[in-house]
Amino acid sequence: MGGSMRLHAHRRLLTALAAVSLCCSPLAAQDRAEIIRLNEYVPLALKAEGFDRYAALFHADYTNWSMSGTKPLTRAEFLAAVERWFDAGNYATESEVVPVSLELFGDFAYLRHFQKEVFMAPDGKRSAFVGAFASVLKKQDGRWLFYSTSFHTTYRGPVEGAPALPDPPPLAAAAGSPLLGSP
C-alpha cells in the first residue's frame, strides 16, 4: 500500500474512532439519558409543574405534526390546544417511552420512539394514547428543548384496550449501542 493510500486509510480509521468515542462519551450518554427521560416526562410535566413550565420545554421555533393532520402546528397553535385541553380538566397520569433510535448531531438530537400515555378526564374516566414518534430536540443554554415532533397515532381509546408497547429493537437494547449509547 502506497504512502498516500496508507495515510488515507489512517485518516478513515481515526475518523471512525473519533465518531465512536463521540457517540459513546460520558457526555453523550448523559445527553441520551436526559433526552429519553424528557420525552417520557413531557406529558406529565403539565400537571406536575403547570402550563408555563410545560411551555418552556418547547423551542421558540417548535412545530408539531400529527400525521393525520393536514399541516404541522406552530408552537403557538400547539400550546394553545394543549392549554385548552388542560384547562378543561384533562391531564396525563402515566407515560412510557420505548426508544428505537437516538442520534446526536452537536446541539441537535433525533429520537424515534414509541410512547404510551394514560390520561384522566374531568369526569374521572381514563383513556390511553399510543403512538410512534420522530422528534428533533435542540440544546439551548444547556437544556434540551423540543424543536419538532411528528407522530402517528396507533391507538386511542380505553386504557383496558391499549396495546403494550413493542420491545426495543435488538440494536437499541444493546448496552453501548451506537444508536442509544449507554444509559
What are 19-48's pLDDT values in tens digits?
A: 433 445 666 889 999 999 999 999 999 999
Confidence of residue 169 (pLDDT cuts 50, 70, 90): confident
Which are the contacts of 14, defined by CB distance < 8 A and separation ≥ 6?
A: none
Q: Which among 66, 88, 64 has a CA at the least distance from the CA of 149?
A: 64
Mean pLDDT, rounded, of the chain: 85
Residues 120-162 have pLDDT tens digits of: 999 999 999 999 999 999 999 999 999 999 999 999 999 999 9
Confidence of residue 168 (pLDDT cuts 50, 70, 90): confident
pLDDT above 60: residue 49? yes
pLDDT above 90: residue 90? yes
Per-residue pLDDT, 65: 97
pTM as predicted: 0.80
Contact present, 147 and 139 (Cβ < 8 Å): no
Contact present, 82 and 107 (Cβ < 8 Å): no
Give me the phi and psi of 105, to 5 degrees please.
-130, 80
Per-residue pLDDT, 2: 53
Distance, CA of 25 to CA of 39 (rounded, Å)? 21
* Cell numbers for 93: 397520569
* Cell numbers for 68: 393525520
Distance, CA of 110 to CA of 35 (rounded, Å)? 10
Residues, the chain: 183
Domains, the chain, in order of start with CATH, read 26-173 (3.10.450.50)
CA dihedral (88, 94, 100, 106) in degrees, to 10, reads 70
pLDDT: which is higher, 125 or 6: 125
